[in-house]
């Protein structure tokens, strides 16, 4: 890694991935040795509908620069309907964050199936670049959490 | 109107149809009314007030009462309050058969703080004849046009229709074509940075008093997540920027699709934070994305966040739509 | 006090090549609660597992974190090891530092830092884990096999032979599937009917197999061991129990000009018909769209001639609901439509046909009784050109990217059979590559070239131009000789790609079984669990999972059946303990959770609460049925108070991970 790259802003990115599609898609990206930025750290959840808006705000509070939620494609949810709820919830939450003046590119929902290892890597690379472009999260970060 | 309402309620007390009534009780000043339980006709005759300052939405008080097992409770509901009532009914928070609803007509409530702001703090009494507000102050009698001191939420009244009642005073009203999303639109048309600083200015005044939550007829949790030490997001004493954000975003999210837009949150906020705009933003988005929906309109239609459509818009619409900057 | 042990795996060099495992172990040792941290070459090996077991016992560990591969790979392995050591398996968490770290990052420093972050998240989570004990549920001792082709029949026979009742459902009026249309099979060239029809009879006669032909699975609910399927019995207008299959009605039916789908529309049949002479059940069926009685209300000839009075014009679709412990999917495949391939002039000339149509032309039960006559003028074709890979290995939108696997072999079969029956016929085969990896397959193909004199040409048809006499001008390229060929052919046969049956998509949604981009059912693991769907209790047989020939289909059907038997033989199943649960004191009874629950696992009960002031409140509260809940978590977010939470993925656990990652 060059010196220049090291000094570049490295965002913290939390990715919530559903166990059945997206987490498996991420595993497939691994099996296929498809690169994506190490900024992305995955949290496994049973279904994208397990992701509570509180988790997303919590991540931002603790200094995450971007949060992405990945689930099965609509219609393919392992739990039949989970991602349909995710879609509504996140649409409304993201719109609210935008209404509060938070950068739109800090949040994202993507549907990634278990067979889309390549797409998983693409999505993560693109999202990381988007977050890099808008810079560190200052609006939602709670600096007190850094104090310890 | 007040005397007619009292007369009828006393009848209901006497016929043992009801054992208590929830209404507005005379306070220290006649513009300062308190929501209260009247357990006898005597109490009611003496202390019940229904006037332009009977703003409080009484539906939420029915929850605890209907969980207790005795007798029927009468409640007075203005048109906008009836939506909250239906919403609570839909969520099984109250038992319809234990409640007797008297629908009371509403001609816009007045805002005591607007009157004081216009005419000074030393107010002894306020009254309104429908057109003009007459105020007795230490400096003598003053008047002001009613239209200047109407409560903000009533300026954007969504409906004069009582969607549920057992008995109605006055005429059956209609759903109004309100301009209630205008302010949301103004914000939407600002640049994100402007929106951010608008909300920072507003929300940073939050003192964490929880009045908005406590008054809200949709915020009826037995235990609020923000009071629950096990939830991991409990509010601590020393609030900071983030907790204000977190609290108000999550509160708005929790009532999204359930908020009837009664406006109580902003009415009671001691810091005059326009909290109802957060709720209205959700309502506006829901109408736009999932079709018009008015919480409390009926008790059958599922709330928008507990249903879905296979062809719903994707969250990316937030980035691509053109009506929000 | 937490006593957490951390075990960092090298996975040979799979992890250690990119991640400094020693440093990860050393750094994680300093995390709060961690009292032991080490790295080891293969944690999943017996020695590695023993190391974990020994340390749990020796140090009395309260939680274990394994930094290794994906939990999808070895979570169960390690949980079992923990259980063996006396530590509840759910007090173990894995940090995925292989698939999601070492394998996707190149920079050692970055990957090491990420491994530490993932390890920290797992430590934060495990510190909040609770011991969980799986619940038990009963197993319904009955299997549902969907699709009664060779795969479904084999699976049904095997399951029934093991002593379990099977409902075998097929969307068609007869069982047998696509193989009934095949004339001969490769590489043995034995007659397909001769091996298939006895099996069809076996299925029909098996006392534990209940045939449900002309039926469609509408809805599937429930879970492993306890599925509930709603099956639509489509109106047949003929009572299958009364019909003797005499065929008199089909002879007397005045409507004789209905296209015969069994012969791929190469000839006609009557409106009341028996699909083919060996159909099982051998029962007539009325094609409602073409029946005069059903369409116009007048006729009734079939009912008049039917001695056993089997015809019922008032028949209608019926829904039946049944319980099953296991489901085998065997919905098979179909050749793709070739209309989009204009260059082959399929739509312009009746003499351009697909391989399956050629199969019918050759078959004794086909339109010409087995004599190969070209469709336009019933002349013996003298020159036949076969084109392989029509839509296979095709990256354009009209085709499929995959190899359909069987076309090389059946084209060789067609070529060979043609040359054997009609030695005066010139046979050309245009191929992309010849792929013949099965047992005896390459020898078979070589026989076609060497003994039967079939002209194999690497290349492709560029254009087919129909001529007025019915012949076809074929312009093709020979890639090896680098020249253009012009052939005047009597018949062009297209080896169309395979695609999943149309019914599979709806079924997959009902079963919540995943499909790949092409619509084939996905297996739980491509190597180690090839016949299991990721949905527990659903097994995959045959070509519904991907292109397959008959031997592989039968083998896979047997494997799927044995997996189903392994399930059905159990009396009780251990459930997934990671289910939702509601804290009654916080529950509002608002109903939001039940509204979003896809399994109807949540009900409400009236509950008395003693208040601090000694009064009693009655409140409606949610109650989760752990046997029905699948643990998706939709309810936890719908619940505003946070009363609803999930074991194993609790709000606090997930927030613990969030905090650790953002640290």
Q: Are C522 and C534 in contact (CB under 8 A)?
A: yes
Full 3-state SS string of C538-575: EEECHHHCCCCCHHHHHHHHHHHHHHHHHHHCCCEEEC
Q: Are C511 and C538 in contact (CB under 8 A)?
A: yes
Query: In terms of CA atoms, which chain A residue is nearest residue C663?
Result: A62
Question: Measured between CB atoms, which of B197, B240, B250 is closest to A142?
Answer: B240
Instruction: Enumerate the residues of chain A whose CB falls inside 8 A of the CB of residue B276.
Output: none
Question: Measured between CB atoms, which of A58, A91, A142 is closest to B289?
Answer: A91
Question: Cα separation of A131 and A123, whole Å?
Answer: 12
Q: Is the pLDDT of residue A49 over 50?
A: yes
Per-residue confidence (pLDDT) for residue A148, from 0 to 100: 43
Measuring CA to CA, how many Å separate B133 from each of B111, B137, B142? 11, 13, 8
Give which of A16, A92, A144 to mutate to test B binding, by max B Cβ within 10 Å.
Answer: A92
Write out pLDDT tens, residues C98-135: 999 999 999 999 999 999 999 999 999 999 999 999 88
Q: What would you report as the CA-atom Rg of chain C, rounded to the nearest whole angstrom? A: 31
Report how far Cα C46 is from the mean position of its chain's Cα atoms: 34
Q: To the nearest whole angstrom, how far is the Cα of A61 from the nearest Cα of chain C?
A: 9
Query: In terms of CA atoms, which chain C residue is nearest residue B230?
Result: C652
Q: To the nearest whole angstrom, how far is the Cα of A129 from the nearest Cα of chain C?
A: 16
Question: Measured between CB atoms, which of B224, B232, B305 is closest to C651?
Answer: B232
Q: Where do the structural domains in chain B lie, given as residue ranges?
A: 1-107+159-178, 113-146, 179-325
Write out pLDDT tens, residues C284-330: 999 999 999 999 999 999 999 999 999 999 999 999 999 999 999 99
Q: Are A117 and A70 in contact (CB under 8 A)?
A: no
Query: In terms of CA atoms, which chain B residue is nearest residue C128?
Result: B230
Whether A13 and chain C come into contact, CB under 8 Å, resolves to no
Q: Are A5 and C78 in contact (CB under 8 A)?
A: no
Q: Do B196 and A139 touch (CB under 8 A)?
A: yes
Region of A119 (left: φ > 0; alpha: ψ -120 to 50; beta: rest) is alpha
Q: Is C608 helix (H, G, I), strand (E, B) or coil?
A: strand
Write out pLDDT tens, residues B207-235: 889 999 999 999 999 999 988 877 777 76
CATH class assigned to C4-126: alpha beta
CATH class assigned to C580-647: alpha beta
Write out pLDDT tens, residues C475-501: 999 999 999 999 999 999 999 999 999
Write out pLDDT tens, residues B256-309: 999 999 999 999 999 999 999 999 999 999 999 999 999 999 999 999 999 999
Give which of B201, B245, B259, B289 to mutate to test A binding, by max A Cβ within 10 Å.
Answer: B245
Q: To the nearest whole angstrom, how far is the Cα of A37 from the nearest Cα of chain B?
A: 22
Per-residue confidence (pLDDT) for residue A6, from 0 to 100: 56
Q: Do B228 and C589 touch (CB under 8 A)?
A: no
Whether B308 and chain A come into contact, CB under 8 Å, resolves to yes
Q: Is the pLDDT of residue A3 over 50?
A: no
Superfamily of domain C142-233+317-332+501-568: FAD/NAD(P)-binding domain (3.50.50.60)
Q: Is the pLDDT of residue A1 over 60?
A: no
Q: Is C350 helix (H, G, I), strand (E, B) or coil?
A: coil
Per-residue confidence (pLDDT) for residue A141, from 0 to 100: 78
Interface of A with C in 107-136 (CB under 8 A): 113-116, 121
Query: What phi and psi, each to the nearest 5 degrees, are found at residue C168?
Result: -105, 115
Write out pLDDT tens, residues C16-63: 999 999 999 999 999 999 999 999 999 999 999 999 999 999 999 999
**Helix C46-59 × helix C71-84 angle, to 10°:** 50
Question: Measured between CB atoms, which of A87, A92, A101 is closest to B193?
Answer: A101
Q: Do C654 and A50 touch (CB under 8 A)?
A: yes
Segment C339-343 long-range contacts (CB within 8 Å, at least 24 positions apart) = C340/C398, C341/C390, C341/C391, C341/C398, C341/C494, C343/C461, C343/C462, C343/C463, C343/C464
Q: Do A46 and C646 touch (CB under 8 A)?
A: yes
Region of A141 (left: φ > 0; alpha: ψ -120 to 50; beta: rest) is beta
To the nearest whole number, what is the mean pLDDT of chain C?
A: 94
C142-233+317-332+501-568 and C580-647: identical CATH topology: no
Q: Please, where are the H alpha helices in chain B?
A: 2-14, 41-47, 62-67, 79-90, 112-119, 152-155, 182-188, 192-203, 211-215, 241-255, 264-268, 276-290, 317-320
Q: Do C589 and B92 touch (CB under 8 A)?
A: yes
Write out pLDDT tens, residues B181-193: 999 999 999 999 9
Q: To the nearest whole angstrom, how far is the Cα of B287 from the nearest Cα of chain A?
A: 11
Q: Is C96 helix (H, G, I), strand (E, B) or coil?
A: strand
Q: Is the pLDDT of residue C626 over 90?
A: no
Residue located via tokens 């296929």: A32
Question: Cα separation of B138 and B140, whole Å?
Answer: 5
Per-residue confidence (pLDDT) for residue B24, from 0 to 100: 96
Question: Cα separation of C240 and C282, whole Å?
Answer: 8
Share of chain C above pLDDT 70, in %: 100
Query: In terms of CA atoms, which chain A residue is nearest residue C72?
Result: A24
Contacts of B39 (CB under 8 A, 6+ apart): B19, B20
Measuring CA to CA, how many Å separate A15 from each of A40, C539, C640? 6, 31, 23
Question: Measured between CB atoms, which of C585, C596, C651 is closest to B222?
Answer: C585
Helix (H) or strand (E) holding B123: strand B123-128
Question: Cα separation of C171 and C274, whole Å?
Answer: 15
Per-residue confidence (pLDDT) for residue C523, from 0 to 100: 85
Superfamily of domain C336-499: FAD/NAD(P)-binding domain (3.50.50.60)
Query: In terms of CA atoms, which chain B residue is nearest residue C651?
Result: B231
Whether C631 and chain A come into contact, CB under 8 Å, resolves to yes
Question: Cα separation of B102 and B241, whole Å?
Answer: 43
List the structure tokens of B121. Answer: 């703090």
Query: In terms of CA atoms, which chain C residue is nearest residue A46?
Result: C632
Count CB atoms within 10 A of the CB of residue C470: 17
Instruction: Enumerate the residues of chain A whose CB falls inside 8 A of the CB of residue B192.
Output: 98, 101-104
Report how far Cα C75 is from the mean position of its chain's Cα atoms: 25
Q: Is C348 helix (H, G, I), strand (E, B) or coil?
A: coil
Write out pLDDT tens, residues B134-173: 998 888 899 999 999 999 999 999 999 999 999 999 988 9
Instruction: Enumerate the residues of chain A whose CB falls inside 8 A of the CB of residue C516.
Output: 113, 115
Whether C45 and chain B come into contact, CB under 8 Å, resolves to no
Instruction: Enumerate the residues of chain A whose CB falls inside 8 A of the CB of residue C71.
Output: 44
Write out pLDDT tens, residues C561-595: 999 999 999 999 888 899 999 999 999 999 999 99
Q: To the nearest whole angstrom, how far is the Cα of C646 from the nearest Cα of chain A?
A: 9
Question: Cα separation of C541 and C19, whole Å?
Answer: 41
Query: In terms of CA atoms, which chain B residue is nearest residue C637?
Result: B254
Whether A36 and chain C come into contact, CB under 8 Å, resolves to yes
Write out pLDDT tens, residues B78-133: 999 999 999 999 999 999 999 999 999 988 999 998 998 988 888 888 888 888 99
Per-residue confidence (pLDDT) for residue B240, from 0 to 100: 57
Instruction: Enumerate the residues of chain B whose CB falls inside 8 A of the CB of residue A139.
Output: 196
Q: Do B196 and A95 touch (CB under 8 A)?
A: no
List the structure tokens of C411. Answer: 């084209």
For chain A, the chains sharing at least 3 beta-carbon pairs closer than 8 angstroms are B, C
Q: Where do the structural domains in chain C lie, given as residue ranges?
A: 4-126, 142-233+317-332+501-568, 248-305, 336-499, 580-647
Instruction: Enumerate the residues of chain B whose CB falls inside 8 A of the CB of residue C618.
Output: 67, 69
Query: In terms of CA atoms, which chain B residue is nearest residue A62?
Result: B242
Give which of A68, A99, A134 to mutate to test B binding, by max B Cβ within 10 Å.
Answer: A99
Interface of C with A in 586-615 (CB under 8 A): 596, 598
- Out of A82-91, B62-71, C252-261, C328-337, pick the least confident: B62-71
Per-residue confidence (pLDDT) for residue A37, from 0 to 100: 97
Query: In terms of CA atoms, which chain A residue is nearest residue B251?
Result: A54
Q: Is A18 helix (H, G, I), strand (E, B) or coil?
A: strand
């Amino acid at each position: 890694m060059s010196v220049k790259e090291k000094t570049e802003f490295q965002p913290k990115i939390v990715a919530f991935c559903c166990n059945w599609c997206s987490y498996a898609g991420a595993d497939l990206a691994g099996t296929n040795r498809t690169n994506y930025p190490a900024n992305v750290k995955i949290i496994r959840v049973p279904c994208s509908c397990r992701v509570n808006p509180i988790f997303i705000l919590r991540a931002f509070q603790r200094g995450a620069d971007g949060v992405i939620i990945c689930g099965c494609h609509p219609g393919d949810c392992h739990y039949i309907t989970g991602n349909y709820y995710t879609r509504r919830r996140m649409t409304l939450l993201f719109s609210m964050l935008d209404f509060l003046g938070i950068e739109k590119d800090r949040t994202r929902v993507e549907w990634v199936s278990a067979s889309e290892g390549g797409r998983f890597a693409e999505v993560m690379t693109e999202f990381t670049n988007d977050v890099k472009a808008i810079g560190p999260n200052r609006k939602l970060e709670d600096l007190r959490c850094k104090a310890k | 109107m007040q005397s007619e309402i009292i007369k009828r309620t006393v009848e209901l007390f006497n016929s043992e149809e009801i054992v208590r009534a929830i209404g507005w009780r005379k306070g220290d000043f006649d513009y300062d009314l308190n929501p209260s339980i009247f357990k006898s006709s005597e109490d009611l005759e003496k202390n019940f007030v229904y006037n332009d300052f009977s703003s409080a939405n009484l539906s939420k008080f029915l929850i605890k009462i209907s969980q207790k097992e005795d007798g029927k409770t009468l409640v007075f509901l203005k048109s906008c309050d009836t939506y909250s009532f239906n919403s609570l009914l839909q969520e099984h928070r109250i038992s319809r058969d234990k409640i007797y609803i008297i629908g009371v007509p509403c001609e816009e409530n007045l805002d005591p703080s607007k009157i004081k702001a216009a005419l000074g703090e030393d107010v002894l009494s306020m009254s309104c004849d429908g057109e003009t507000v007459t105020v007795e102050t230490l400096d003598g009698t003053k008047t002001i046009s009613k239209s200047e001191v109407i409560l903000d939420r009533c300026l954007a009244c969504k409906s004069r229709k009582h969607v549920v009642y057992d008995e109605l005073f006055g005429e059956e009203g209609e759903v109004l074509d309100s301009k209630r999303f205008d302010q949301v639109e103004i914000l939407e048309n600002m640049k994100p940075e402007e929106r951010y600083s608008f909300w920072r200015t507003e929300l940073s005044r939050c003192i964490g008093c929880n009045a908005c939550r406590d008054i809200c007829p949709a915020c009826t949790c037995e235990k609020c997540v923000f009071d629950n030490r096990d939830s991991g997001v409990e509010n601590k004493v020393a609030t900071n920027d983030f907790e204000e954000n977190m609290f108000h975003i999550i509160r708005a999210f929790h009532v999204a699709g359930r908020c009837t837009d009664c406006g109580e949150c902003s009415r009671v906020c001691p810091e005059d934070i326009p909290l109802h705009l957060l709720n209205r933003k959700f309502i506006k988005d829901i109408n736009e994305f999932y079709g018009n929906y008015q919480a409390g309109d009926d008790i059958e239609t599922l709330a928008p966040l507990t249903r879905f459509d296979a062809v719903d818009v994707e969250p990316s619409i937030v980035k691509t739509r053109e009506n929000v900057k | 006090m937490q006593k957490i042990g951390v075990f960092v795996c090298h996975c040979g060099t799979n992890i250690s090549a990119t991640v400094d495992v020693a440093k990860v172990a050393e750094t994680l040792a300093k995390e709060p609660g961690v009292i032991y941290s080490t790295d080891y070459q293969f944690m999943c090996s017996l020695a590695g597992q023993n190391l974990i077991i020994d340390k749990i016992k020796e140090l009395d560990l309260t939680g274990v974190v394994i930094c290794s591969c994906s939990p999808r790979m070895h979570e169960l392995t390690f949980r079992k090891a923990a259980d063996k050591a006396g530590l509840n398996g759910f007090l173990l968490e894995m940090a995925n530092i292989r698939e999601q770290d070492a394998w996707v990052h190149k920079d050692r420093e970055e990957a090491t830092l990420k491994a530490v972050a993932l390890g920290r998240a797992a430590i934060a989570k495990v510190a909040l884990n609770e011991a969980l004990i799986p619940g038990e549920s009963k197993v319904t001792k009955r299997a549902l096999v969907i699709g009664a082709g060779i795969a479904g029949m084999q699976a049904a026979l095997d399951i029934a032979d093991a002593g379990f009742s099977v409902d075998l459902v097929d969307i068609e009026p007869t069982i047998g599937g696509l193989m009934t249309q095949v004339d001969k099979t490769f590489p043995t060239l034995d007659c397909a009917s001769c091996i298939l029809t006895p099996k069809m009879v076996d299925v029909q006669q098996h006392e534990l197999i209940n045939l449900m032909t002309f039926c469609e699975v509408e809805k599937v609910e429930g879970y492993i061991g306890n599925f509930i399927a709603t099956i639509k019995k489509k109106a047949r207008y003929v009572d299958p129990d009364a019909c003797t299959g005499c065929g008199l009605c089909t002879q007397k039916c005045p409507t004789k000009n209905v296209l015969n789908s069994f012969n791929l529309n190469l000839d006609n049949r009557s409106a009341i018909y028996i699909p083919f002479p060996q159909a099982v059940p051998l029962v007539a069926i009325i094609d409602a769209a073409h029946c005069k009685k059903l369409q116009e209300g007048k006729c009734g000839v079939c009912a008049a001639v039917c001695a056993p009075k089997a015809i019922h014009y008032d028949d209608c679709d019926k829904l039946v609901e049944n319980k099953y412990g296991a489901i085998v999917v065997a919905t098979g495949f179909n050749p793709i439509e070739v209309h989009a391939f204009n260059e082959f002039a399929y739509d312009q000339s009746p003499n351009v046909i697909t391989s399956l149509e050629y199969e019918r032309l050759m078959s004794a039960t086909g339109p010409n009784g087995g004599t190969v006559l070209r469709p336009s003028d019933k002349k013996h074709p003298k020159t036949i050109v076969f084109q392989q890979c029509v839509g296979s290995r095709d990256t354009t939108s009209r085709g499929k990217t995959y190899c359909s696997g069987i076309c090389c072999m059946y084209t060789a079969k067609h070529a060979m059979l043609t040359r054997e029956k009609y030695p005066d016929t010139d046979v050309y085969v245009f191929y992309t590559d010849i792929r013949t990896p099965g047992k005896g397959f390459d020898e078979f193909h070589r026989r076609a070239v060497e003994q039967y004199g079939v002209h194999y040409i690497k290349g492709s048809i560029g254009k087919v131009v129909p001529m007025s006499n019915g012949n076809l001008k074929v312009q093709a390229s020979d890639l090896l000789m680098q020249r253009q060929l012009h052939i005047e052919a009597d018949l062009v046969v297209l080896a169309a790609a395979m695609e999943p049956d149309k019914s599979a998509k709806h079924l997959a949604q009902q079963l919540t079984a995943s499909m790949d981009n092409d619509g084939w059912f996905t297996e739980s693991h491509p190597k180690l669990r090839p016949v299991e769907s990721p949905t527990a209790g659903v097994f995959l047989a045959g070509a519904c999972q991907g292109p397959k020939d008959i031997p592989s289909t039968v083998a896979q059907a047997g494997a799927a059946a044995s997996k189903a038997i392994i399930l059905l033989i159990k009396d009780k199943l251990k459930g997934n303990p990671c289910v939702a649960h509601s804290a009654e004191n916080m529950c509002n009874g608002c109903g939001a959770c039940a509204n979003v629950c896809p399994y109807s696992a949540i009900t409400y009960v009236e509950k008395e609460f003693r208040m601090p002031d000694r009064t009693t409140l009655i409140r409606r509260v949610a109650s989760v049925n752990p046997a029905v809940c699948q643990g998706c978590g939709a309810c936890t977010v719908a619940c505003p108070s946070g009363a609803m939470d999930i074991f194993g993925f609790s709000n606090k656990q997930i927030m613990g991970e969030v905090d650790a990652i953002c640290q």
